[in-house]
Chains A and B, each alone.
Chain A
Amino acid sequence: MSFPLLTATAALPAVGAVATAAVPAARRTAAKWLALAFSLGTLALAATILVRFDPGGARYQLTESHSWIAAFGVRYELGVDGIAVALIGLTALLVPFVMLAGWHDADPLETGSRRWRPTQGFFALILALEAMVILSFEATDVFLFYIFFEAMLIPLYFLIGGFGDRAHERGEKAASTQRSYAAVKFLLYNLAGGLIMLAAVIGLYVVAGSFSLTEIAQARADGSLRMATGVERWLFLGFFFAFAVKAPLWPLHTWLPNAMQESTAPVAVLITAVVDKVGTFAMLRFCLQLFPEASTWATPVVLVLALISIIYGALLAVGQRDIKRLIAYASISHFGFIIMGIFAMTSQGQSGATLYMVNHGLSTAVLMLIAGFLISRRGSRLIADYGGVQKVAPVLAGTFLIGSLATLSLPGLAPFVSEFLVLVGTFTRYPAIGIAATLGIVLAALYTLVLYQRTMTGPVRKEVSAMPDLRVRELVVVAPLIVLLIFLGVYPKPVTDIVNPAVQQTMSDVHQTDPKPEVEAAK
Chain B
Amino acid sequence: MIALLIAAPLLGAAVLLVGGRRLDAVGHWIGTLLASASFVIGLVLFADLLGREAEQRTVVQHLFSWIPVAGFQADVAFRLDQLSMTFVLLITGVGSLIHVYSIGYMEHDERRRRFFGYLNLFLAAMLLLVLADNYLLLYFGWEGVGLASYLLIGFWQHKPSAATAAKKAFLVNRVGDMGLSIAIMLMFLTFGSFAFEPVLSQVGDTSEGRLTAIGLMLLLAACGKSAQVPLQSWLGDAMEGPTPVSALIHAATMVTAGVYLIVRSGAIFNAAPDAQLAVTVVGAVTLLFGAVVGCAKDDIKKALAASTMSQIGYMMLAAGLGPLGYVFAIMHLVTHGFFKAGLFLGAGSVMHGMNDEVDMRKYGGLRRYMPVTFVTFGLGYLAIIGFPGLSGFFSKDKIIEAAFAKGGTEGWILGGVALLGAAVTAFYMTRVMLMTFFGEERWRDRAEASGQAAATPHESPGVMTIPMIVLAVGSVFGGAFFSIGDRFLHWLEPVTGHSEGHPPVGAWAVTAATVVCLLIGVAVAWAQYGRRPVPAVAPRGSLLTRAARRDLFQDDFNHVVLVRGGEHLTRSLVYVDHTLVDGVVNGAAASVGGLSGRMRRLQNGFARSYAVSMFGGAALLVAATLLMRAV
Query: Which one of A189, A351, A457 lies within 8 Å of B585 (CB-CB)?
Result: A189
Assembled-state Cα–Cα distance A492/B584 (Å)? 42
Assembled-state Cα–Cα distance A188/B593 (Å)? 13
* Given A411-B143, A428-B189, A519-B192, also A390-B570 (CB < 8 A): no
Tally chain B residues at the interface, Cβ within 8 Å.
62
Residue of B nearest to A349 (CB): B69
The reply to whether B70 and A500 form a contact with Cβ atoms under 8 Å apart is yes
Shortest C-beta distance, A458 to chain B (Å), equals: 5
Q: Is A493 an interface residue (CB 8 A)?
A: yes
Give the residues in chain A near B616, CB-CB below 8 Å. Answer: none
Assembled-state Cα–Cα distance A497/B69 (Å)? 8
Selected interface stretch from B169-177, B308-316, B431-439, B541-549: B169-177
Give the residues in chain A near B166, CB-CB below 8 Å. Answer: 453
Q: A-facing mask of B105-136, CB < 8 A → 1, else 0?
A: 00000000000000000000000000000001
Q: Is B167 an interface residue (CB 8 A)?
A: yes
Selected interface stretch from A1-9, A161-169, A370-378, A438-446: A438-446
Q: A-facing mask of B152-180, CB < 8 A → 1, else 0?
A: 00100111101110110011001101100
Q: A-facing mask of B33-77, CB < 8 A → 1, else 0?
A: 000000000000000000000000000000011111111100010
Give the residues in chain A near B206, CB-CB below 8 Å. Answer: 518-519, 522
The reply to whether A457 and B190 form a contact with Cβ atoms under 8 Å apart is no
* Given A456-B157, A457-B158, A522-B205, also A441-B574 (CB < 8 A): no
Q: Is A254 an interface residue (CB 8 A)?
A: yes
Assembled-state Cα–Cα distance A427/B188 (Å)? 9
Q: Is B144 an interface residue (CB 8 A)?
A: yes
The reply to whether A254 and B189 form a contact with Cβ atoms under 8 Å apart is no
Give the residues in chain A near B577, CB-CB below 8 Å. Answer: 254, 312, 316
The reply to whether A351 and B154 form a contact with Cβ atoms under 8 Å apart is no
Q: Is B489 an interface residue (CB 8 A)?
A: no
Shortest C-beta distance, A363 to chain B (Å), equals: 15
The reply to whether B160 and A457 form a contact with Cβ atoms under 8 Å apart is yes
Q: A-facing mask of B172-216, CB < 8 A → 1, else 0?
A: 001101100110111011111100000000100110001000000
Residue of B nearest to A387 (CB): B160
The reply to whether A348 and B573 form a contact with Cβ atoms under 8 Å apart is no
Q: Is A450 an interface residue (CB 8 A)?
A: yes
Assembled-state Cα–Cα distance A238/B374 (Å)? 77
The reply to whether A493 and B65 form a contact with Cβ atoms under 8 Å apart is yes
Q: B-facing mask of A377-395, CB < 8 A → 1, else 0?
A: 0000000000010110000
* Interface range for A: 35 or more
Give the residues in chain A near B164, CB-CB below 8 Å. Answer: 453
Q: Is B490 an interface residue (CB 8 A)?
A: no
Most buried by A among B65, B69, B140, B189: B69
Assembled-state Cα–Cα distance A434/B184 (Å)? 12
Query: Which one of B69, B191, B570 lies within 8 Å of A316 (CB-CB)?
Result: B570
Residue of B nearest to A388 (CB): B158
The reply to whether A520 and B192 form a contact with Cβ atoms under 8 Å apart is yes
Assembled-state Cα–Cα distance A10/B61 (Å)? 46
The reply to whether A421 and B178 form a contact with Cβ atoms under 8 Å apart is no
The reply to whether B189 and A517 form a contact with Cβ atoms under 8 Å apart is yes
Assembled-state Cα–Cα distance A456/B150 (Å)? 14
Query: Which one of B158, B182, B184 lies within 8 Å of A459 (CB-CB)?
Result: B158
* Given A411-B139, A417-B67, A504-B70, also A516-B569 (CB < 8 A): no
Residue of A nearest to B157 (CB): A457
Assembled-state Cα–Cα distance A420/B140 (Å)? 11
The reply to whether B160 and A458 form a contact with Cβ atoms under 8 Å apart is yes
Give the residues in chain A near B190, CB-CB below 8 Å. Answer: 517-519
Shortest C-beta distance, A55 to chain B (Å), equals: 12
Assembled-state Cα–Cα distance A438/B139 (Å)? 14
Shortest C-beta distance, B296 to chain A (Å), equals: 29
A-B contact count (CB 8 A): 166
* Given A410-B147, A446-B171, A450-B167, also A319-B181 (CB < 8 A): no
Residue of A nearest to B143 (CB): A411
The reply to whether A254 and B67 form a contact with Cβ atoms under 8 Å apart is no
Shortest C-beta distance, B210 to chain A (Å), equals: 8
Give the residues in chain B near A439, CB-CB below 8 Å. Answer: 178
Residue of B nearest to A409 (CB): B143
Shortest C-beta distance, B26 to chain A (Å), equals: 19
Residue of A nearest to B582 (CB): A254
* Given A316-B570, A348-B71, A519-B192, also A411-B581 (CB < 8 A): no
Residue of A nearest to B125 (CB): A412
Shortest C-beta distance, A305 to chain B (Å), equals: 13
Give the residues in chain B near A131, CB-CB below 8 Å. Answer: none
The reply to whether A428 and B188 form a contact with Cβ atoms under 8 Å apart is yes
Q: Is B566 an interface residue (CB 8 A)?
A: yes
* Given A390-B157, A420-B181, A442-B175, also A517-B70 (CB < 8 A): no
Assembled-state Cα–Cα distance A94/B442 (Å)? 63
Q: A-facing mask of B549-588, CB < 8 A → 1, else 0?
A: 0000000000000000010011101100100011011000
Assembled-state Cα–Cα distance A347/B72 (Å)? 9
Give the residues in chain B near A288, CB-CB below 8 Å. Answer: none
The reply to whether A457 and B174 form a contact with Cβ atoms under 8 Å apart is no
Q: Kindly identify, within residues 605 to 625 of chain B, every residue whose CB is under 8 Å from any CB belonging to chain A.
A: none
Q: Is B589 an interface residue (CB 8 A)?
A: yes
Query: Which one of A347, A411, A445, A522 lies within 8 Å of B144 (CB-CB)?
Result: A411
Q: Is A503 an interface residue (CB 8 A)?
A: yes
Assembled-state Cα–Cα distance A405/B143 (Å)? 11
Residue of B nearest to A515 (CB): B189
Q: Kindly identify, within residues 243 to 275 of chain A, every residue whose CB is under 8 Å from any CB belonging to chain B.
A: 250-251, 253-255
Give the residues in chain A near B147, CB-CB below 8 Å. Answer: 405, 410
Assembled-state Cα–Cα distance A417/B170 (Å)? 20
Assembled-state Cα–Cα distance A427/B182 (Å)? 9
Residue of B nearest to A513 (CB): B71
Q: Kindly identify, within residues 312 to 362 of chain A, every residue whose CB is under 8 Å from any CB belonging to chain B.
A: 312, 315-316, 318-320, 347-348, 351-352
The reply to whether B181 and A445 form a contact with Cβ atoms under 8 Å apart is no
Assembled-state Cα–Cα distance A388/B190 (Å)? 48
Q: Is A29 an interface residue (CB 8 A)?
A: no
Query: Which one of A388, A423, A441, A496 lies within 8 Å of B67 (CB-CB)?
Result: A496
The reply to whether A441 and B174 form a contact with Cβ atoms under 8 Å apart is yes
The reply to whether B181 and A441 form a contact with Cβ atoms under 8 Å apart is yes
Give the residues in chain A near B175, CB-CB below 8 Å. Answer: 442
Give the residues in chain A near B581, CB-CB below 8 Å. Answer: 250-251, 253-254
* Given A411-B144, A441-B174, also A427-B582 (CB < 8 A): no
Assembled-state Cα–Cα distance A468/B76 (Å)? 40
The reply to whether A347 and B70 form a contact with Cβ atoms under 8 Å apart is yes
The reply to whether A497 and B68 form a contact with Cβ atoms under 8 Å apart is yes
Give the residues in chain B near A518, CB-CB below 8 Å. Answer: 189-191, 206, 210
Shortest C-beta distance, B526 to chain A (Å), equals: 43
Assembled-state Cα–Cα distance A188/B71 (Å)? 43
The reply to whether B72 and A348 form a contact with Cβ atoms under 8 Å apart is yes
Assembled-state Cα–Cα distance A435/B185 (Å)? 9
Q: Is A487 an interface residue (CB 8 A)?
A: no
Residue of B nearest to A410 (CB): B143
Q: Is A133 an interface residue (CB 8 A)?
A: no
Shortest C-beta distance, B9 to chain A (Å), equals: 14
* Given A412-B140, A519-B202, also A445-B574 (CB < 8 A): no
Given contacts A347-B72, A458-B157, 12 further A-B pairs with CB under 8 A are A411-B139, A412-B144, A416-B143, A420-B67, A420-B136, A421-B67, A423-B181, A424-B72, A446-B171, A490-B76, A500-B68, A517-B192
B interface list, Cβ under 8 A from A: 17, 64-72, 76, 136, 139-140, 142-144, 147, 150, 154, 157-160, 162-164, 166-167, 170-171, 174-175, 177-178, 181-182, 184-186, 188-193, 202, 205-206, 210, 566, 569-571, 573-574, 577, 581-582, 584-585, 589
Interchain residue pairs A-B with the least CB separation, the first 7: A517-B192, A319-B570, A457-B163, A411-B140, A457-B157, A347-B70, A254-B582
Q: List 27 A-B contacts (CB under 8 A).
A: A185-B585, A254-B577, A315-B569, A316-B574, A319-B571, A348-B71, A390-B157, A420-B67, A424-B72, A428-B189, A434-B185, A438-B178, A438-B181, A441-B177, A449-B150, A453-B163, A457-B158, A458-B158, A460-B158, A490-B66, A493-B65, A496-B67, A517-B189, A517-B191, A518-B189, A519-B192, A522-B205
